[in-house]
Structure formats: C-alpha cells, structure tokens
Structure 1
Amino acid sequence: MTDRRTELKEALAATGRGDRQSLERVYEMTSSKVFSTIVRIVRQRERAEDILQEVYVKVWRRAARFDPAKGSPITWLCAIARNSALNDLRRSGRKQEIPDDEFPEVADTNLVAADDWLCAAEDSAALEKCLEELRGDHRRSIKMAFFEGFSHSELAEKVNVPLGTMKSWIKRGLAGLRGCLGG
C-alpha cells in the first residue's frame, strides 16, 4: 500500500508540472472515493458526475499547490470535492434527494492506503465512539453538517431551531469531539 501512496503523490506532483497522463493516473486511483464524497452530499448521481469533472479540472489547475507535508493526496482531493459539492448545493439548492439504496456500491479496485483515507477504520471507530458520547442534538447536527453537507441555516430550518442555537450545538459538539479525540 505504501507504494500506491507514493505513486499517488508522484502522479499529483507530475500533474502539477503539467503532465496530463499523470492527471489520468490520479483520476484512476482516486475517482471512486472522490465521487462517493460528492454523492453523499448532493445525493444526485448526475449532479455528482458533473461536480466530479469540475473537481479534476480544479486538480489540474491547483496540483502544483499540493503540499504533501500538510496532508495526504486523498485528503486534499476529498476536501476539494467536499467544498465543490457544498458550493454546488449553495448555488442551486437541494433538489429532491434520492434514497441511499438508489446508489449502487462502486467497486474500488484502486484502493489507497487506509491510513490515507478520511475515514480510516481506526479513526472512524474512534470518531463514532466520540460522536455517540455527544448529546443527541449535537451529534445529529454535526453528522448532518459534515457528512451530509447541510449548511447551518439549512439545519436550523430543518430541525426548526434558531440559527444561533444550531451554531451553538455544532460548536459545542465539535469541542466535545476535540476533547474526546485528544485534539
């Protein structure tokens, strides 16, 4: 797995130098994970596919800015994907959501090392444990904001609480997670 991680870093660096074949390799190695990040937020396959294309255009333009000392390539790519998906939601609003079972599982034959993925099993288990220790309203708000891409105002409207209350719940919940996770 370390070889794949190194290969991805090298391909991203070469992309930053203008190598189109390296961008293709970055896409091959990461697109299924990036797509799943996007589809979780926008909940529409067609929109997610359009956003995926936008993400890799941004990667082409910004690859030279990637700094491996600040994080892994997959984390950087997923951050671009998440931000792109959230921006799309803000621009166009949420359309009718498709239930989870409407999306087929995407086989990922190009696995990136688990410790490079945002939700590595060990970290994911620790996060889940810490989330369960939060108050219910804090936990639900954080999950909907960070894993489903709802804005604070959308959440406040959805659960019928003032915006200030929602912001407070999320802030307190994140403080609780930091304490629990030792951050």
Structure 2
Amino acid sequence: MDPMSRFSVVPSGDESPEGPARPVQLEQLLRRAATGDETAFADLYDAVSSRLLGLVRRVVRDPAQSEEVTQEVFLEIWRHSARFDPSKGGAMSWMLTIAHRKAVDRVRSAEAARHRDEGYGASNQEVTHDSTAETVVERLDAERVHRALETLTAVQRQALELAYLSGYTHTEVATMLDLPLGTAKTRIRDGLIRLRDTLGVTL
C-alpha cells in the first residue's frame, strides 16, 4: 500500500503533535522510513509538511498545483529516504532541496506547455482575408479570361472550354468535336498560346 494515500497536504505549522522536531529526530524518522516504517513516515510528514508546502508555494504560486507538487515531494522522500546521507547535510535541507527541485520542474513544465500552445496557435491561426477585395479580384480575373477567350477562333474557344472549363480529356474533346486526336490537341495548344499572349501570363 502506498503510504501517501493516507495523507493530504494541509498547512498546520512546522511542529509535530509532540512539539518542534529537532534535526536528530528528523534524521531518525528518515532512517526508519527507509526501512518501510509508515508510522515514522507519518510523523515525518506531520513535522515538515507545512515548511515544504511553504517553499513549493513560493515557487509555484498556484495553491492547487503547490499541493500536488508537495505530494510528489513526499512520495520521492518515501521512495528514496534510504539515499539520505547525514554526512552531506541535515535532513531538513535534504527534503527542502527535493521540494525546490520539484517546484522548479513544475514551473518549467508549465512554461514549456504554454510556449507549445502559443506556438501551435500561431502556426495554425487562420489568415484573415478581406472577402470583399477577394471577390473583386476573382471577378476581374474572370472578366479578363472571358475577354481573352473572345479573342480566340471559334474552334479554339470550343476546344479549350471543353478541356479546361468542362474537364474533358483531349480524347473526349476529339470525339465530341468529331476531330482526329492530333487536331484536337493542336487547337487546344494554339488556344492556350493565344490566351497566354493576351493575358500576359505563363500558362
């Protein structure tokens, strides 16, 4: 059973029910917790939870996230209490270091997520168009093409309209106009060349 399921982070002061926890007491509680002693861990939790939560809250700021991070801190303390080495510092300093690292990790993770969301929003933002201007341009282009088509011979215009406005293949155009395939292709090619010259674009 995960002993963390028994706890919730509630600010209650830096004291255990028996009074302020001394450094030696914290070290003893950590050593006992390392052996799987849940009672010792509960006493440790009561002794230091407010202080660790206070540090996390100063870094994370958001109260709900601060409580989540503090729970993560105690979970790491429970799982890795055997790693505590009193020769390298006191028990409280060791736990505060874990709390600070976890809090900073949460802030960095939140910042990274925010930047990803902003980047996604920027890259997927729809470009707004002036629909009125767009409509005018389309109409002008249509009028230019219509005028250009009028400059073609009747047979060229007929072949182009079938091929590019109605979507028929060259073979189908040849059949519909009762022409050899080569002749149909020539009319379409000549019509395109003339359109290109009239419109001043590359077709």
With the length of structure 2 as denominator, give the TM-score of the two structures: 0.44
Higher relative contact order (CA 8 A, sep 6+): 1
- Over alpha carbons, which structure has the higher Rg? 2
